[in-house]
DNA sequence: CTCCTCGACTAGAACGTTCTAGGCCGATGT
DNA sequence: ACATCGGCCTAGAACGTTCTAGTCGAGGAG
């Protein structure tokens, strides 16, 4: 028995009945598939709009083997993930895919986030800065294509799209060296995704210049930076600092200034991510920008290539970063 | 013809065949529904685990009229929305619902975000600080239950869960008055959701004390606050400022300090939202905290009540805020 | 011994789509 | 005149679940 309440959501059958055609034909029209006359198309569209028909994506996906759905796992805390999600939406739309979002929160770990997406019949997964161990990622990749963004993975089981973080730090350090700095310290990101790569880049660039490398433990939030700055203030101050990311850098700048120091007068500071905060005129942080547009486009493209069975050579796609110079860096005095 | 590739996702039928029972029985067991013997339950579960069966939520939802899915629209930019999403996940889980997220980004407006969720067969919608006009919200509410969070809506068509923002500003202003301030200015949030309410609360509290109200245009990001601070610096400085939110307040503090002013020495500053940034020790912003736990619990509860047809009296649920005093406020000197 | 009841189980329809396999009809080629 | 074709359309079977309406057999009451 068909329920027939006035609140029932209209279906293909409703449109078909009202337009005097078969459901199959309605389906054809609404999918823009070939096989219907212009006149019929017009009429069916008219009727569909009239009764406010909306396709039921569940039913659609159930029937067609392809779901054209990409699962995305992101951290609700990270501002940068927000930028990536924006880019992913755009990139997915360009190739005719939809996105299913699943957030990692303090009370919902990565496993749960992934499990949710798997039930939703996503065809592939895009993980933003995942913290799962490599083995878990590899295992997941046996089920469906997995693209990891913004974290290097030492495994050929998954695809990776990331910024050349080492190169980013090279740019930062070289910029400081060119300004005349000889004492550059790195505030690192601890175990955060990408931290190791940035630390390495810093060390390479500094050693290449024949200078000693010095690292202070930091983290990804403002207070990590604040703590690092206090540690720096305890000893002889360097003339310049490179920091794991912008939020952490903000903490560094803040503590230095409150301690009476001037940025960039006494200490130059370089951040990472070129976030909105960095662009804020009153902080105006020199920062390494990641190419969000390119990262997200590559991530989606790669996922789709896998789904289409296109043979791909490199699993590790690396995007060059760009240094954005603002006023938190200056020659030492 | 049944596809039988080794990569095919196992279905109920596969489990059933392997366990030598019908699909209906497998369904019963896996749903923990009554109607199966203990022995059979054991065996079916065993087999399901063996072949790695995962229920296909699409098919499940298609069949059962209830989807137990709540749609959530959030702004990928707003840190506070992240906190709300975390709370919503927890609250939804407690009552046995799932969440479908849809983000509003610079390239994807609220209409699109909502449209996406409607296709996914969500039973109800939770909108975080929506910017759609009231009429559009009311229209949407004719299709399914809609709960608006963190924005007052002058319409009885939708349910609203929000913080008593006027009361929040009362707390802020009263705190400043108690410290001895007599010249308090408000940096507002322009057209942002909740801004009008906060502005009103500020005016009420100040006038109640017999003082003149003065408002400076602000916004929701750091640079809006920076601009507002520069405007303030152009005239005679107040001894205290209440600001629309923490990010904006940060911009205010930053510009004031860079202009040689002291916070709270010359100017006391109160923010709103008690975000992580406010808690950062080196900024240490006095701020009005919204009760995220309660907001999200109420939002989910209300949505579920609507779905269950429970008659509800008030459509407007208001949660009291809490003032968190830190070191950005002090007596005037 | 028959009738009932009850628990365990199953067949098959439904959910709203898409897809495959055709049917019908007028035009075209021979 | 007859096969053939191509454009438009439809019937009906999927897809993987849940739900309804049973069937079957064992055990208890009469």
Between B76, B100, B120, which is nearest A82 by CB?
B76
**Structure token pair of residue A71:** 């699962």
The pLDDT assigned to A4 comes to: 40
Residue A314 exposed, middle or buried by CB count within 10 Å (0-12, 13-18, 19+): exposed
| Residue-wise pLDDT tens digits, B252-287 | 998 898 898 999 999 999 999 998 877 776 678 999
Q: What whole-number distance in Å separates Cα of residue A184 and Cα of residue A270?
A: 11
Q: Is the CB of A63 under 7 A from strand D?
A: yes
Q: Which of A86, A102, A222 sits opposite B277 (nearest CB)?
A: A222
In a mutational test of the A interface, the residue from B120, B275, B282, B309 whose CB has the highest number of chain A CBs within 10 Å is B282
**Using a CB-CB distance cutoff of 8 angstroms, which residues of chain B are in contact with residue A11?**
none
Question: Which pLDDT does position A7 carry in this prediction?
Answer: 60
How far from B42 is each of B31, B46, B171, CA to CA, in Å? 13, 6, 59
Q: Is the pLDDT of residue B1 over 60?
A: no
Regions in chain A scoring below 50 on pLDDT: 1-6
Q: Determine the pLDDT at residue B282.
A: 63
Beta strands B286-289 and B322-324 are antiparallel
Range 200-229 of B in CB contact (< 8 A) with A? 221-223, 226, 229
Helices (H), chain B: 12-19, 23-30, 38-50, 57-63, 79-94, 110-119, 134-141, 165-179, 195-208, 222-234, 246-258, 276-279, 292-308
Element (H, E) at A268: strand A268-272
Contact B91, B298 (CB under 8 A): no
B4 CB neighbours strand D below 7 A: no
What is the predicted pLDDT for the residue at A68? 87
Cis peptide upstream of residue A17 (ω within 30 degrees of 0) = no
Q: Are B146 and B160 within 8 A, CB to CB?
A: no
User: Tell me, what's the pLDDT at A282?
Assistant: 63
* Distances, alpha carbon B88 to alpha carbons A25, B91, B115, B190, B315, in Å: 41, 5, 20, 27, 19
| The pTM of the whole model exceeds 0.75 | yes
More confident residue, B318 or B258: B318
Cβ within 8 Å, pair B119-A55: yes
Q: Show residues of chain A in contact with B280, CB under 8 Å.
A: 221-223, 226, 251, 254
Q: Do A280 and B85 touch (CB under 8 A)?
A: no
Closest in A59, A82, A280 to B62, CB measured: A59
Kindly state whether A85 is in contact with chain B, defined as any CB-CB distance less than 8 angstroms.
yes
| CA-angle at B100, arms to A108 and B148, nearest 5° | 100
A3 sits within 7 Å of strand D by its CB: no
Helix (H) or strand (E) holding A127: strand A124-128
Q: What are phi and psi of A232, to 5 degrees?
A: -65, -40
List C-alpha distances in Å: A116 to A33, A241, B26, B55, B97. 32, 41, 21, 11, 12
Residue nearest to nucleotide D6 (CA to C1'): A35
Taking an 8 Å cut-off on Cβ atoms, the answer to whether B102 and A105 are in contact is: no
Phi, psi of B280 (to 5 degrees): -50, 125
Q: Which residues pair with B72 in a beta bridge?
A: B101, B126
State the Cα–Cα distance between residues A118 and A114, nearest whole angstrom.
Answer: 6
Token pair 């057209």 is at which residue? Answer: B191
Inter-chain Cβ pairs, chain A and chain B, closer than 8 A: 128
Question: Could you give the count of Cα atoms lying within 13 Å of A153 in the half-sphere of its Cβ?
Answer: 28
Average pLDDT of B106-113? Answer: 96
Q: Which residue blocks in A100-244 are alpha helix, DSSP H?
A: 110-119, 134-141, 165-179, 195-208, 222-234
Query: Using the beta-carbon criterion (under 8 Å), do B251 and A108 form an inter-chain contact?
Result: no
Supply the mean pLDDT for chain B: 92
Q: What's residue A6's pLDDT? A: 44
Scanning every residue of chain B, which has its alpha carbon at the shortest distance from the alpha carbon of A254?
A: B282
Is the Cβ pair B85, A101 closer than 8 Å? no
Measured over all CA atoms, what is the biggest interatomic distance in chain A, rounded to whole angstroms?
Answer: 84
Query: What does the pLDDT look like over B72-89, one tens digit per residue?
Result: 999 998 889 999 999 999
- The pLDDT-based confidence of B294 (bands split at 50, 70, 90) is very high
Partner-chain contact A223 B280, CB within 8 Å: yes
Q: For residue A124, count other CB atoms closer than 10 A to its CB.
A: 25
| pLDDT of B54 strictly over 60 | yes
pLDDT, tens digit, 9 for 90 and up, residues B240-259: 999 999 999 988 998 898 89
């Amino acid at each position: 028995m068909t329920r027939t309440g006035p609140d029932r959501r209209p279906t293909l059958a409703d449109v078909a009945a009202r337009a005097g055609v078969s459901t199959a034909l309605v389906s054809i029209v609404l999918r823009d598939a070939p096989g219907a006359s212009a006149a019929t198309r017009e009429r069916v569209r008219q009727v569909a709009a009239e009764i406010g028909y909306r396709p039921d994506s569940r039913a659609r996906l159930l029937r067609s083997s392809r779901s054209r759905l990409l699962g995305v796992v992101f951290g609700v805390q990270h501002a940068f993930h927000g930028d990536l999600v924006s880019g992913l939406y755009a990139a997915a739309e360009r190739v005719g895919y939809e996105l299913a979002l699943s957030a990692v929160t303090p009370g919902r770990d990565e496993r749960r986030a992934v499990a949710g997406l798997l039930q939703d019949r996503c065809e592939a997964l895009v993980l933003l800065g995942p913290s799962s161990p490599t083995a878990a990622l590899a295992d997941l990749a046996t089920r469906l294509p997995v693209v990891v963004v913004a974290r290097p993975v030492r495994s050929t089981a998954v695809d990776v799209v990331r910024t050349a973080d080492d190169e980013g730090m090279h740019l930062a350090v070289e910029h400081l060296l060119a300004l005349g700095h000889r004492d550059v310290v790195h505030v690192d990101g601890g175990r955060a995704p990408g931290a190791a790569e940035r630390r390495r880049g810093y060390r390479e660039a500094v050693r290449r210049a024949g200078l000693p490398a010095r690292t202070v433990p930091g983290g990804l939030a403002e207070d990590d930076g604040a703590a690092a700055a206090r540690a720096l203030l305890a000893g002889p101050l360097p003339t310049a600092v490179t920091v794991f990311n912008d939020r952490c850098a903000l903490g560094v700048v803040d503590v230095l200034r409150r301690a009476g120091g001037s940025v960039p007068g006494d200490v130059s500071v370089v951040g990472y991510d070129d976030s909105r905060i960095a662009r804020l005129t009153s902080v105006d942080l020199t920062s390494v920008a990641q190419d969000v547009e390119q990262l997200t486009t590559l991530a989606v493209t790669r996922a789709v290539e896998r789904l289409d069975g296109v043979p791909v050579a490199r699993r590790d796609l690396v995007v060059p970063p760009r240094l954005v110079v603002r006023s938190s860096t200056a020659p030492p005095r």
